[in-house]
Amino acid sequence: MLYWLHQTFDINILGYITIRAGISFFIALFFTLFLMPYFIRWAQRTSSVQPINEWAPQRHKEKASTPTMGGIVFIVATIVASLLSIKFSNIYAVGGVLTLVLFALIGFQDDFAKVRKNENLAGLKARTKLLFQVIAALIVASYLCVFADFNTDLYVPFMKSPILDMGLFAMLLWVLVIIATSNAVNLTDGLDGLATVPSITALASFTIIIYITGHAKISAYLLMPNFDVGEVAIVAAALMGALSGFLWYNCHPAEVFMGDSGSLTIGAFLGYLAIISKSEILLLLIGSIFVIETLSVILQVGSYKLRKKRVFLMAPIHHHFEMKNWHENKIIVRFWIIAILSNLVALISLKIR
127 CB-contact burial (10 Å; exposed 0-12 / middle 13-18 / buried 19+): exposed
Residue 81 domain-assigned (yes or no): yes
Residue 349 domain-assigned (yes or no): no
pLDDT at 39: 94
40 CB-near residues (< 8 Å, 6+ apart) = 67, 70, 249, 255, 256
Please report, in tens digits, the pLDDT of each residue of the chain (353 residues total). Answer: 787 776 677 787 888 899 999 999 999 999 999 999 999 999 888 877 766 655 556 565 566 678 889 999 999 999 999 999 999 999 999 999 999 999 999 999 988 887 776 665 556 788 999 999 999 999 999 999 988 889 899 999 888 888 898 988 999 999 999 999 999 999 999 888 899 999 999 999 999 999 999 999 999 999 999 999 999 999 999 999 999 999 999 998 889 999 999 999 999 999 999 999 999 999 999 999 999 999 999 999 999 888 888 988 888 999 899 889 899 999 999 999 999 999 999 999 998 87
Q: What is the number of domains present in the chain?
A: 1
Cα–Cα dist 207/209, whole Å: 6
Range of the domain at 277: 2-284
pLDDT at 47: 76
Residue 337 domain-assigned (yes or no): no
On whether the CB atoms of residues 283 and 185 are closer than 8 A, the answer is no
Residue 162 domain-assigned (yes or no): yes
φ and ψ at residue 80, rounded to 5 degrees: -60, -50
pLDDT at 63: 67
Given phi > 0 = left and psi -120 to 50 = alpha, else beta, which region is 10? left
